[in-house]
């Protein structure tokens, strides 16, 4: 299985633009942006991503809740998820892992390295 399609869930439009550019232009990935958890749940089936990049603090449905709902659905439960967030205390990290996330990338991220980081984590998945 290759890493080709990434669903990026983020409510901040500016960060959406930077990350999309970084992943598409630097990583060569196909990226679909969703502005919140609800939109992501609605579109994940149609887009069928290989990986989901998920922000944590979002107004309509936060990242952890979105992940729980993804895991609860048989069709989306196995899609690997990486959190991309500024909320990265060690207690947060342990919590994300317990929910089933592969890893966490901290904001602010280096856009020139984001694609490489994502691939490195994706390749470590069980």
Partner 1 sequence: MIAVDQSDILPSKVLDAATEVSIIATDPQGVITVFNRGAELLLGYSAEQVIGKHTPALFHLASEVAGRSLKLSQKYGVPIEGFRAFVHNPEGQGREQRQWTYVCADGSHVQVSLIVTVIRSTEGVVTGYLGVAYDISKEVQAYKAVKEFRNTLDRVHDGIFMFRPDTLGFIYVSLGATMQLGYSSEELLRMSPLDIKPEFSEASFRQRLQPLLDGDKTLVMFETIHRHKDDHLIPVEVSIQLLSEPGQEPLFVNVVRDITERKAAERVMRENAQYTQAILDNVIDGIITIDSRGTIQSINLAGENIFRYKAAEIVGKNVKLLMPEPYHSEHDGYLQNYHATAIPRVIGSGREVEGRRKDGSVFPMDLAVSRSVHQGQPLFIGLIRDITERKRVDSMKTEFVSTVSHELRTPLTSISGALGLIVGGALGELPEQARLMLDIAYKNSKRLAVLIDDLLDMDKLAAGNMQLDLQVQLLMPLVEQTLAAVSTYGDQHQVRFALIERADQAQVRVDGGRLQQVLTNFLANAVKFSPSGAQVEVAVRLQQERVRVEVIDHGPGIPGEFRKRIFQKFSQADSSDSRQKGGTGLGLAISKELIERMNGVIGFDSEEGRGARFYFQLPIWQTQDITQQSGCSKTAAGR
Based on the shown chain and the rule CB under 8 A, indicate whether residue 65 belongs to the binding site for partner 1. no
Tell me: does residue 99 bind partner 1 (CB under 8 A). no
Q: How many residues interact with partner 1 (rule CB under 8 A)? A: 36
Residue 103 is a binding residue for partner 1 (CB under 8 A): yes
Give yes or no for residue 88 binding partner 1 (CB under 8 A).
yes
Q: 88-114 b/e with 16+ CB inside 10 Å = b?
A: eeeeebebbeebebbbbbebebeeeeb
Per-residue tokens: 125: 């998945």
Instruction: Using CB under 8 A, list all residues that contact partner 1.
Output: 12, 14-15, 17-19, 21-22, 25-26, 57, 85-94, 97, 102-113, 117, 124
């Amino acid at each position: 299985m290759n890493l080709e399609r990434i669903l990026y869930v983020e409510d901040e439009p500016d960060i959406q633009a930077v990350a999309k550019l970084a992943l598409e232009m630097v990583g060569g990935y196909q990226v679909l942006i969703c502005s919140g958890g609800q939109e992501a749940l609605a579109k994940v089936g149609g887009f069928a991503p290989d990986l989901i990049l998920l922000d944590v603090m979002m107004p309509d449905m936060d990242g952890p809740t979105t992940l729980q709902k993804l895991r609860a659905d048989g069709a989306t439960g196995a899609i690997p998820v990486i959190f991309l967030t500024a909320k990265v205390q060690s207690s947060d990290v342990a919590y994300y892992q317990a929910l089933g996330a592969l890893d966490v990338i901290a904001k602010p991220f280096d856009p020139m390295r984001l694609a490489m980081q994502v691939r490195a984590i994706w390749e470590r998945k069980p």
